[in-house]
């Protein structure tokens, strides 16, 4: 595995709210020579987010932003993005909806990963809904973020079969494993690599 120093790479911020397994996979990807990104900043709305530990492990700056007042929170985040010269934002299990104004400030430079085959199952409880509807498969999607929830242009998707024995938990686990591969692939595609 070839490691690169990160010089001249696209300065990237990853936004998380929880476990941060996609954050971890993006950080690992960022260290490969073929990766165009360097993860410079982790933003969370949740001071208890387990994924914050990757900031310590990989020595990446972390910022906890409380979302009691969304307008103030977003101003603080935009300020952090500017200070750190961030060029790309990757939402990875970030459970807050960003405002139109925020998105406008970072137009075309915010990506999100969602645990369904969009446009199916926008929002929450995607796995429960796919199983309830007796779908034969579900999957994950990486897309550009626009002002409408889970509706921006799709970059890449990966299908995952739903077996009769699958529960929302087992399906989430299978899809998450695919998410970890899909997000890096989608980034390579965005930058024509
Ligand atoms: C992932 O499955 C991601 O797709 C989902 O939250 C999980 C976060 O896992 N995101 C959403 O539901 C956003 N609407 P992680 O913290 O281990 O990366």
One domain for residues 15 and 100: yes
- Tokens for 142? 């990486």
Radius of gyration of the chain (CA): 16
For the stretch 6-40, pLDDT in tens is 679 999 999 999 999 999 999 999 999 999 999 99
Q: What is the domain range of residue 15?
A: 8-107
For the stretch 129-155, pLDDT in tens is 999 999 999 999 999 999 889 999 999
CA angle 76, 151, 161 (to 5 degrees): 115
- Tokens for 42? 């982790």
Q: Residue 23: count other Cβ atoms within 10 Å of its Cβ.
A: 30
Active site residue 180: no
Phi, psi of 57 (to 5 degrees): -60, -45
Ligand 1, atom 10: nearest CA belongs to which residue? 93
**Environment class of residue 191 by beta-carbon count within 10 Å: exposed (0-12), middle (13-18) or buried (19+)?**
exposed
What distance in angstroms lies between residue 95's CA and the mean position of ligand 1's atoms?
A: 8
What distance in angstroms lies between residue 21's CA and the mean position of ligand 1's atoms?
A: 8
Q: Is 185 a residue whose pLDDT tops 80?
A: yes
Q: Tell me whether residue 39 is in a domain.
A: yes
Average pLDDT of the segment spanning 53-78: 98
pLDDT at 1: 45
**Which atom from ligand 1 is nearest to the alpha carbon of 18?**
16
Q: Tell me whether residue 1 is in a domain.
A: no
**Which atom from ligand 1 is nearest to the alpha carbon of 126?**
12
Distances (CA, A) of 76 to 11, 44, 80, 129: 18, 12, 6, 35
Pick the catalytic residue: 114, 127, 143, 180?
Answer: 114
Q: What is the CATH number of the domain that holds 40?
A: 3.40.50.170
Ligand 1 pocket, residues with Cβ under 6 angstroms: 16, 18-22, 51, 92-93, 113-115, 176, 179
Q: What percent of the chain has pLDDT over 90?
A: 93
- Tokens for 138? 């579900």
Q: Tell me whether residue 14 is in a domain.
A: yes
Q: Tell me whether residue 3 is in a domain.
A: no
The pLDDT confidence band at residue 5, using thresholds 50, 70 and 90, is low
One domain for residues 98 and 178: no
How many CA atoms, within 13 angstroms, populate the side-chain half-sphere of residue 34? 9
Q: Tell me whether residue 2 is in a domain.
A: no
CA gap 181, 31 in Å, rounded: 15
Ligand 1, atom 9: nearest CA belongs to which residue? 93
For the stretch 58-67, pLDDT in tens is 999 999 999 9
């Amino acid at each position: 595995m070839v490691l690169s120093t990160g010089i001249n790479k696209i300065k990237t911020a990853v936004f998380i709210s929880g476990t941060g397994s996609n954050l971890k996979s993006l950080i690992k990807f960022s260290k490969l020579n073929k990766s165009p990104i360097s993860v410079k900043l982790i933003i969370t709305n949740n001071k208890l987010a387990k994924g914050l530990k990757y900031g310590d492990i990989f020595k990446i700056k972390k910022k906890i932003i409380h979302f009691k007042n969304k307008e103030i929170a977003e101003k603080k985040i935009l300020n952090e993005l500017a200070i750190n010269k961030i060029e790309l934002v990757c939402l990875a299990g970030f459970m807050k909806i960003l405002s139109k104004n925020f998105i406008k400030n970072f137009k075309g430079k915010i990506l999100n990963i969602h645990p369904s085959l969009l446009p199916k199952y926008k929002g929450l409880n995607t796995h429960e809904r796919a199983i309830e509807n007796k779908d034969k498969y579900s999957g994950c999607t990486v897309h550009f973020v626009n002002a409408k929830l889970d509706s921006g242009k799709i970059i890449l998707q990966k299908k995952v079969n739903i077996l009769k024995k699958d529960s929302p938990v087992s399906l989430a686990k299978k899809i998450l494993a695919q998410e970890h591969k899909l997000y890096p692939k989608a980034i390579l595609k965005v930058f024509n690599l």
